[in-house]
Amino acid sequence: MSDRTPVQNAELALLLEVTGSPKPGNVDRERDFDDLRFEHFMAGAVGARPGLERAAAGERVGQAFERAVAGMADQSAGNTQFGALLLLAPLVAAASEGDLTPSGVDTVARDTTVADAADFYRAFEHVDVAVDEPPEGMEPLDVRRGSEAVPTLEARGLALFDIMARSADVDGVAAEWVGEFGRVFDTAEAILADDGPVPDRVSRAFVELLAEDVDTFVVTRNGSDAAAEVQRRAQAVLDGDEDAAALADELVDRDINPGTTADLVAGALFVALERGLVV
């Protein structure tokens, strides 16, 4: 077993996630977008560390997340790992409390407060994050309002877990928050059961997740038809009917980025590292 701390494993998980290749539609060791490159993810992972340290120290999850996002954003591309950090903050907190289990992280998530929700909203002031228009009647809680939405949060008494519950049907990261991080833990076990270099395991885990369900970030940016196509073609890769590298190149060219799937893999890597993944 490694002597790395949960914070070190969280930082390493972010770094390992971006080394996996090919990851169709995502930045990896061999693929960049014009304005979002491999080195931005490396810098984002390093910058996020002070916020992750706060999570490990028992500070509020929302506060730790907001500080991690602020540090992540201290590179020229802006948002690299927003969703991954939203998963890692409660995972690191649970691990530091000695209970990195579905029920342990569920307790951390459900114990969040209105103050944590306010921190979550403030995090959107550090970076541009692609989000859907809010449902009718929810405009005062549009996350793009940032701190301007905090009085509404306070008036309605909405904790961070409550905010996640309101988005779980349309956002894969929020669904993890209210579902005991089920896909994260399942993917961690798949990575541990796999063999070979970790970046290769990352690529396989990514494609398997992509084939399992539509990527909600693709739905938001490119529409439901594109998301269904990506899911279908990821399954074709698993079936041997498509080449993963060719699909990766095509999706990058089309600016289709399954970012939620990458977030889930980062969370899974953290759990796998905590459970003994050898690097």
What digits encode the pLDDT tens for the residues 177-219? 999 999 999 999 999 999 999 999 999 999 999 999 999 999 9
- Nearest one of 189, 8, 5 to 96, comparing CA atoms: 5
Residue 272 pLDDT > 90, yes or no?
yes
Higher pLDDT, 53 or 34: 53
pLDDT of residue 134: 77
pLDDT of residue 139: 85
Strand partners, 36: 33
What's the number of CA atoms in the CB half-sphere (13 Å) around residue 190? Answer: 20
* Residues 12-32, mean pLDDT to the nearest whole number: 96
Each residue of 216-230: pLDDT tens digit?
999 999 999 999 999
* Residues 71-81, mean pLDDT to the nearest whole number: 95
Alpha carbon distance, N-terminus to C-terminus of the chain: 10
Residue 199: φ, ψ to 5°: -60, -35
Kindly give, in sequence order, each residue whose CB lies less than 8 Å from that of residue 86, ignoring residues fewer than 6 positions away.
Answer: 65, 120, 173, 177, 263
* Residues 166-179, mean pLDDT to the nearest whole number: 95
Q: How far is CA 277 from each of CA 12, 192, 269, rounded to the nearest angstrom?
A: 11, 6, 8
Global confidence as pTM: 0.97
Task: Please name the residue ranges forming H helices in the chain.
Answer: 6-19, 38-56, 61-72, 82-96, 102-110, 114-123, 150-156, 160-167, 172-178, 182-193, 198-212, 216-222, 224-238, 244-253, 259-274
pLDDT of residue 257: 95
CB count within 10 Å of CB 157 equals 10
Per domain, the residue ranges of the chain are 6-199+262-274
Q: For all residues of the chain together, what is the average pLDDT?
A: 96
Residue 137 pLDDT > 80, yes or no?
no
* Topology annotation, domain 6-199+262-274: Triphosphoribosyl-dephospho-CoA protein (1.10.4200)
Alpha-carbon span 153 to 161, nearest angstrom:
12
Residue 238: φ, ψ to 5°: -65, -30
* Residues 19-34, mean pLDDT to the nearest whole number: 94
Each residue of 91-124: pLDDT tens digit?
999 999 999 999 999 999 999 999 999 999 999 9
User: To which H or E segment does residue 62 belong?
Assistant: helix 61-72
Each residue of 233-262: pLDDT tens digit?
999 999 999 999 999 999 999 999 999 999
pLDDT band at 1, cuts 50/70/90?
low
Residue 138 pLDDT > 80, yes or no?
no
